[in-house]
Chain A
Amino acid sequence: MTDINITEDQRDCYQELSNVAMGQAADRLARLLDAYVVLPIPKVNMIESSELDMAIQDAEKDTAVSAVCQGFIGSGIAGEALLLFKDTSFQDLAALMNYQGPLNRYGELELLMDVSSVLIGACVHGIGEQLEIHFNQGHPVVLGQHCMAEDILRSGNHQWTKTLAIEIHYTLEHVNIDCDLLLLFTEDSVVKLNKVIDYLLD
């Protein structure tokens, strides 16, 4: 396996593409919740499979989260989006979504699915649109509820050694809602993506 890497120009380009996509996703979330989403600068990194937890900020690791994962694929480029949703966020989310039912594990799962549909869908679509790739999305999979973020990222016998990770940290203004969206591409997708990126950079 040749060593996959990205140049500084490519990294910058990925960051900008993510920035635009996350903005589109935030816009949809903002409309859904009628609130303002604070947008940071997305983090783009090549990471080793052993350090998947490095993809998220240190402050986030020791946090109880619920997590959903969803695959996407288009034009031979594939990856997975992972949404880590802080458990402390559910109460405010329920209020914003007008959720009436009891806020137990099932209630939380409902809310989690609603938010992840919007955030993951819009973000993946946004990146695809800029690259002129139509991504099909697989069905979401719940990775865990009330787990430590670190444990979720650590588990799993990964089939790759090094790949591209994009981390987007969403917070909402004035309310306690906090989540992390992580996009990971498969190794061979990175090679193809880099070609598309180089074309854009030309």
Chain B
Amino acid sequence: MDFINAFLPYILADIEKTTPDAIRIADYLPYILAGISVGGQYALISIGYTMVYGILRLINFAHGDIFMVAGFVMIYLSATLPLHISAVFVILITMLLGFVVERVAYKPLRNAPRMSIMISAIGVSYLLQNCAWYFTSGLAKQYPEIPWISESITIGSATTKIVTILTPVLTIILVAALVFLIKYTKIGMAMRAVSKDFETSRLMGIKINTVISITFLIGSFLAAVASLLYFTNYTTVTPVAGAMPGLKAFVAAVFGGIGSIPGAVVGAFIIGICENLIKGAGWTTFSDAFTFALLIIILVAKPTGLFGEKSTDKV
């Protein structure tokens, strides 16, 4: 970080000399940084959507709310436990929640029409939100300040929190680990097989339910990590706090081509950066609208997304 700090002013000064007044990167730098950071958080959430879709052809509407619950769990745990221990428990409890949701609400509907399981997912989403209303009385709760990652750091002309820099780095590391898992391990091979053909996978001796549970555990793990990074930036959690980031991560997954992990990550970074650049240009009101306009354009122009499979149906 010191290294970047030492050189960035010179680099930026250099750019400024050669660019006309109209475009000044230095002015936009804070927004680009914030965009990359929020993009990383969306990316971590969107992987949960895209993996579950890849394997079950289900849009897990409850995923954003699982992310929200992770936020509240952190608030309640950190009231009594040290922060680093709370963070570990937040991750474990969120994974357990994802696992239980799948077993209780989705597994019994394995052979039901796809629409039924989708509606079950919407039900779980509202259930989690309403439980959160009940336990918090609907009040916004203060998210604990996590030392070190909440500290300020100055990069060139921009002052930001360390979490802004940490997020994209952590995102890339986790995604790389996940891609390795899927491509080179036995369980990863089983996940790819199950996502293509349930019945033949069963004939190979693969326990479908175990593989699906693992998918939900991974998705919830990443959502929990995202919640630690995201709420540190936003300071409060409300029962509907999962809705917006959840929806945006979903748009990112569709944009990248739902079912594709690299697609979801690229889509999330693009959406995060664009949103913040729009804010930087002074159109904050329209930054959310942009994301959803993008969803409509993608669905009309290229429904399979950037990296989507050509045929989305099972062979």
Query: Is A bound to B?
Result: no
Chain A residues with CB under 8 Å of chain B are none
Chain B residues with CB under 8 Å of chain A are none
